[in-house]
């Protein structure tokens, strides 16, 4: 689907306070994020999206029972915590988010995960803007499961708002997630969900 001309209109910057108020009052069926000062609506999950997330959850629990993979935990990201993101997954030590509010600091999060959706905004959001926001917040690993290309992209070594390392793997490859995650994913099952 081609983007409309409305997609190319510059968006006004939104303050964190205004965003949080808007997010609190939005319907439960809408997931909002604030990336680079711009309001974004996160698309809903389809069956394969949820199945891929559950596959990853099982892998993490099997290899690292000391960690929890939290679905859509709100995180304060970007420099100075000025962004708000709901990654598909946030990997952190067990009970890390206990007692936290809707938007938790990114400190202590070991990895964020995004599983791409089939919408026109995925390229900008998941492949470009979110890696910068997560790197600026100092999250050690960002895993992008890219359903369009059938790849997993591992971003690591955050420095100066960017990940210094980026490695791409095809579905079916053994995918090493670097420290502090230290898990090797068996991705053979993902071939079942390729389009």
At 50-65, the pLDDT tens digits run: 999 999 999 999 999 9
What is the rounded distance in angstroms from the CA atom of residue 74 to the CA atom of residue 70? 10
In a domain, 166, yes or no: yes
Query: What φ, ψ does residue 165 adopt, rounded to 5°?
Result: -115, 140
- pLDDT at residue 10 above 70? no
Report the number of distinct structural domains present in the chain. Answer: 1
- Whether residue 39 lies inside any domain: the answer is no
Strand (E) or helix (H) holding 162:
strand 162-170
pLDDT digits (tens, 9 = 90+) for 135-166: 999 999 999 999 999 999 999 999 999 999 99
Q: The tokens of 171 are what?
A: 């579905």
Query: Would 38 be classed as within a structural domain?
Result: no
Q: What per-residue confidence (pLDDT) applies to 164?
A: 98
Is the pLDDT at 49 greater than 90? The verdict is no
For 138, the 3-state DSSP assignment is: coil
CA dihedral 164, 170, 174, 179 (to 10 degrees): 20
User: Does residue 8 belong to any structural domain of this protein?
Assistant: no
Question: What is the CATH number for 159?
Answer: 3.90.1570.10
Evaluate whether residue 40 is within a structural domain: no
Domain that holds residue 113: 45-193
Q: Where are the alpha helices (DSSP H) in the chain?
A: 16-25, 47-63, 122, 130-136
Residue 139 belongs to some domain of the structure: yes
């Amino acid at each position: 689907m081609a983007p409309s001309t409305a997609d190319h209109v510059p968006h006004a910057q939104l303050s964190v306070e205004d965003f949080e108020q808007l997010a609190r009052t939005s319907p439960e069926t809408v997931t909002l994020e604030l990336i680079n000062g711009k309001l974004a609506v996160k698309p809903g999950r389809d069956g394969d999206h949820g199945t891929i997330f559950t596959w990853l959850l099982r892998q993490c629990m099997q290899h690292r029972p000391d960690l929890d993979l939290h679905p859509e935990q709100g995180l304060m990201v970007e420099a100075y915590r000025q962004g708000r993101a709901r990654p598909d997954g946030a990997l952190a030590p067990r009970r890390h988010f206990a007692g936290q509010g809707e938007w938790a600091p990114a400190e202590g999060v070991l990895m964020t995960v995004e599983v791409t959706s089939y919408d026109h905004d995925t390229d900008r959001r998941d492949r470009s803007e979110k890696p910068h926001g997560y790197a600026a917040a100092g999250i050690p690993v960002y895993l992008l499961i890219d359903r369009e290309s059938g790849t997993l992209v591992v971003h690591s070594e955050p420095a100066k708002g960017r990940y210094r390392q980026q490695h791409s793997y095809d579905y079916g490859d053994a995918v090493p997630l670097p420290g502090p995650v230290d898990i090797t994913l068996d991705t053979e099952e993902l071939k079942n969900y390729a389009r």
